[in-house]
Amino acid sequence: MNLTPFTYQLVISLRRGVRVEVGKLGVLKLPKGRYIYTGSAKRNLRSRIARHLAREKRLHWHIDYLLARPEARVIEVRTFRAAECSINERTAGDVAAAGFGASDCRRGCGAHLKFLGSASDLQ
């Protein structure tokens, strides 16, 4: 059994609402608050996470478009050994934008980016 983590979550603080164009998803309006993104990497998990945390990068995955915004900041990184969709399903929050981060999802998650609430909701 492989005990190496391959699923990760990024807890993101969005200090003010943004409009962000995300590939085929189009222009998304995301309100100020906290979000959680669930992803996976079959190899090189640390490299994937480091890439997400870097400000300068080629925009490839949906999450790259959000993290490129100066209003967005990753405030926590979590890793897991369970499958991406399983972790996403167990994570509280509301779908932030239909299809975000879930273009290859086979379990019907709806999205792998969830809105946790505004700063005032979290206190």
Mean pLDDT by runs of 10 across the 123 residues of the chain is: 79 96 93 96 92 92 95 96 94 94 84 87 46
Which DSSP symbol is given to 123?
-
What is the C-alpha separation between 60 and 52, in angstroms, rounded?
10
33, 115 Cβ separation under 8 angstroms: yes
Does 19 fall in a domain? yes
Does 2 fall in a domain? no
Contacts of 103 (CB under 8 A, 6+ apart): 62
Q: Which domain holds residue 80?
A: 7-122
Question: What is the tally of structural domains in the chain?
Answer: 1
Does 1 fall in a domain? no
pTM of the full predicted structure?
0.91
102, 34 Cβ separation under 8 angstroms: no
